[in-house]
Every structure is written in C-alpha cells, then in structure tokens.
A = this chain, B = another copy of it.
Amino acid sequence: MDETSFLAGYDPRKYAAVAVTVDVVALTIRDGRLCVLLVERGAQPFAGRRALPGGFVKDEPLGAAALRELAEETGLTPGAGELDRVHLEQLGSYGDPGRDPRMRVVSVAYLAFAPSLPEPTAGSDAARAYWVPVDEAKDLAFDHDTILADALERARGKLEYTPLATAFTGPEFTIGELRQVYAAVWGEDLHAGNFHRKVLSVPGFVESTGTTTARGGDRGGPKAKLYRAGDARLLHPALLRPVRDDRVG
C-alpha cells in the first residue's frame, strides 16, 4: 500500500482484478475420526468435485467472513450460542496466479475447531455440505488439498502447546475423551496412563468438576471423573507428539 501509483491516487479498481475470498477448514471429531466439512460444487470449474466451504469477503473483518461462511454451510446460527465454542484462527493466504482458472483470487484460509456438530440439514443452503473423514478428503477442487494439508499440520501442532483439544469436546469431558481427541488428530494411539498423569500435571489445562460420568464405559471400566477446560492459554510444559523417525535430525 506504499506503491507510488497508489499514493498518486491511482484507482486499483481499474486494473486490479483481484478477488478476495475466505475458505474455512472446519474440523470436528465424529465417531473417533477427525472430519472436515466439505461442500459439493455444482458448477464449473471443478463441478461435482468437493471443496472447502468459502465465499467472498463482504464489508466485514476477515474472521467474521469465515464465521459467517461456516454458519451458512452448517445451518447453525452465530450469536445463538451454537457456534460459541468454535475456535477460529487464521491459517494463511493462498494466492498463486492460476489457482482459480477464471481470474486472480486470493483466498484467506481459516481453521476452525468445533465440537461434534450436527450433520448439515437438507433443504437449507447447507444441503450440499457434509462431514468427511480427513483421510478420505482427497482430490478437492482448486488448491484445497494443499490448504487442508496445511490445516492438519497446524492443528496437530496446536494440540501440542495449547489446550485447544478441549474445543473438540463438550463443556465437560473425561480424560479418556480428551485422549481420543489427541489420538484422532495425531493419528496415533497414546498411552492411557501416561497421558492421564501428564494432562493433570499441566497447570490450567483442565479443572475438575467434582462429578463423574453416570456409567462406566460401554465395554466395562469404572466411572470416569469429569473435567472442564481450565484457564491456561498455553501448555507448560507442552504435550509433545511422539517422536517420529521421519523427521530430519
């Protein structure tokens, strides 16, 4: 915005045919699997292909546009409490020439962590949207495969040093449920005993409600204590992913 031509009063509307959109990578956990919200495209290009929900930015902040798109596609209403527990953060912008074959489009991608939301209802704007396990979300339209991959890597990292795993659960949860969130996002099983001790040892991660579940697990086991999210914004020390050998160094 310091370009000389701009400062001289040049009107970019006359030449800058650049559109700005938001795309949302909304993640939730359904049946123990990490799922992403996708929409089915009805028109060219990429007709019939699946894509991330998104749309043009209106006269609103970028984050508000992302939340609006998410609300429209899920059929849920913002402000009515249904989306209050959704965590939203900016992922990055994607603007390579040619990523949209029609014109130059710069898309600001957002990442949303949501507790298990209902399946979008038919008959509404959201009729063409549905949740898809992330390992089945392939061959998306545009560069959405790349955006999704970046989103998953961001989500996996965020779980390490923030308490955002609680954004995937209900207001009250057991340590076992929290462990399943980590297992679903990271794609690996975690040792139950060590995880339990670790979570309780991080100050502010979770706080006890003093209550327990009504019954034990479906396949046996004692009633579990219930917790809610604590007030920590960062985990100290962090909950690091198991070390994998495919990392350099």
Chain A residues packing against B (C-beta within 8 Å): 1-3, 5-8, 12-13, 16-21, 23, 39, 41-43, 51, 53-57, 59-62, 90, 92-93, 95-97, 100, 103-108, 142, 202-205, 230-236, 243, 247-249
- Known pairs A7-B42, A59-B104, A61-B95; A53 contacts B247 (CB<8 A): no
Contact call A1/B55, Cβ cutoff below 8 A:
yes
Q: Are B234 and A100 in contact (CB under 8 A)?
A: no
Instruction: State A92–B13 Cα separation when bound (angstroms).
Output: 24
**Which B residues lie within 8 Å of A105 (CB)?**
1
CB < 8 Å neighbour of A93 from B56, B90, B249: B90
Number of copies: 2
Query: Are B55 and A202 in touch, CB under 8 angstroms?
Result: no
Cβ of A28 to closest chain B Cβ, rounded Å: 20
A154 CB to closest chain B CB (Å) equals 12
Most buried by B among A5, A95, A100, A243: A95
List 4 other contacts, CB 8 Å, given A12-B56, A93-B93, A106-B108: A1-B54, A6-B55, A62-B96, A236-B249
| A99 vs chain B, min Cβ distance (A) | 9
Residues in B neighbouring A104, C-beta threshold 8 A: 59
| Contact between A20 and B18, CB atoms less than 8 A apart | yes
